Structures are given as C-alpha cells and as structure tokens.
Structure 1
Amino acid sequence: MSAPAPLAPAPATTAALARLHAGAEALWQAASPAWPGLSVEVVPTIDSTNAELMRRARASHIGPVVLAALEQTAGRGRLGRSWVTVPGASLAFSVGVRLTPSDWSGLSLAMGLAVAEALDPVVRLKWPNDLCWDGRKLGGILIETANATATEPGRHCVIGVGVNLATPTLPPDA
C-alpha cells in the first residue's frame, strides 16, 4: 500500500505565497546593492522565523538575511506569548545580522519607529514593541541576540516583525 499523496495547497495559499515571493524578490533587488551578501528567503511554513535565525546564529551560520514565512506554527511575541500567523492574513519575517553597537538600549525603540513609519503615518508605537492602529494592536517586534564567535566582533541580532494584515478567524479554543 502506498502513502497518501500530499495535499495540494489551497489556491488562496498558493496566491499568498506567490505574492510573498514577489515581495521578497523586490526587496532583494532594492537592498542588495547597498547590503552585499544579503539573502532573502521565503518559506511556506516554519515554527518561527526568529527561532530559525537564532538557531543559525548559535551555529555561526548567519549572514545578513531576511527570512519570511507565510505561516508560523510557533510564532512568539514578547514574554514568550504566542503570535498567530495566518496565511494571507499576516506578515511574519525576521532579519538576522551581526551588529556591534556600543549600546543596545535604543535598538527596540529605533526598530519600532522604523517599522511604524514604513507602514503608515497613522500607525503608532506602543512601548516597547507593539504597533497600533485605530486603537488596536496591529503587530509587534521581537529582538533577540546571540554571541558571535571568538573571531567575529559584536553579536548576532535577530529582529522579528509580525503584522496583522487582516483579523484572523481563530477556533474558539485558541
């Protein structure tokens, strides 16, 4: 008896993934001249883009990279809270880069302001990392770091961004 054939993704999921790939390609084309070695990756499903880049950082396998996912099965927010990522209704990505600032204290605020301004002038930043629109949480930013190797200065920094594009419909027990 043979194994059942894998299920084909729904047309909406296929379309959302195609849009994410197109956006990733446009980002790479715009950013790579100023950021040599930049990699922009898209995956359909992952546990967490931040968790994946942290695994790579701890294994010293991280260059400048943007990792986007259509769906996260174990996305995280501040204080370990779960972050639901619904295909087509959310944008989830993480940026991994080695940084050597003398002071890390303003990074969360700087990233929050940059993302809020990039989205829309009406998006507000709620301290320390929540993006708000019309009085509701629109998204959030999670920053994590890992030590670089003995031969590399600085720390590996992973900046995760999650943005709700539509209100997800969740099961009653979620």
Structure 2
Amino acid sequence: MPSEEQPLQPLSQNEEAFVRALGRVLIALPRVVDADLTRGAGLPLSEYTPLMYLSEAPERRMRMSELAAVCNLSLSGMTRVVHRLEQQGWVQRSKCAEDGRGWNAVLTESGLARLERAWPTHLVSVRRHLLDHFSGQDLTQLTAALRCVATSDEANHD
C-alpha cells in the first residue's frame, strides 16, 4: 500500500511494457511447455513438476504440504495430482515418520524412470520457449532479481 509520505509514481513506458510482458509470460510459458511435454512425452507439466521436485529431494521424499508449496498448488490440488501419480506407480504415499500425522510423497524407481524419459522434451521446450530468448544476458543477476520477487511475495503471504 502506498504511504502518505510517498506520492504515487506512475510506471514509465519501459516499466509498463515489462510488467505486461512478464504477465503474458507467466500465462504463456506454462501452457507451451505443458503442450510440448504432453505431445512429446505424454506427461503434463502438472505431473512432471512434482516428479522433478521429488527426484531432487533427500531420499526422493517430500512432505505433501512442502511438495504442494514448491509446485504452487493447494494441498488438495497436490493430493489429486499425487493420486494420479500413484495410480501410475510413479509415487507412493507414506506417513511422516517425524510426527505420524502428515503424509510424504515418495518417488518410485518407475517414477524416476518416467521423469528421465520426459526430461529431454522438457529441456528442449524450456530452452526454445525461454532460455534462447535470454542469450547473452546475465542470468545470475536476473535469477537473483526473480528470487527477490518470489521471496517478497512469500513474506507477504506468511
């Protein structure tokens, strides 16, 4: 919210163009990557993403609430996705050993194999639709700026 001490500063043309382009990217990029993954690997982005995060987690296991958070889904939405992945034999759910109340999602060997088969399609799609457009740019600086945006958003929701 604007403070009474600082007057509102309208966006410059460049700032406005950036904000609008970023908004379009946030909608378009997941759509095109999802289409490429579904067509090329038979795996939608909504299923690829949790498999990817589980593959990187210690013991290929994550608490369902943590998996939902990194996938930007509600817990109930993540439960539906994990149920589909369980039906394929790619994920198993197990009670959390830490407290016995929560559930973990655990990537199976066949889930890891499925992810590995889909990975080349994902890689080609992300390079073509995103990274190729940033050739010659300082990705370290851009990544740091995006992390700051994401972190400030997370702080505002806590």
Question: Could you tell me the TM-score, scaled by structure 1's length?
Answer: 0.29
Normalized per residue, the structure richer in helix is: 2
> Which has the higher Rg, Structure 1 or Structure 2?
2
Question: Could you tell me the TM-score, scaled by structure 2's length?
Answer: 0.31
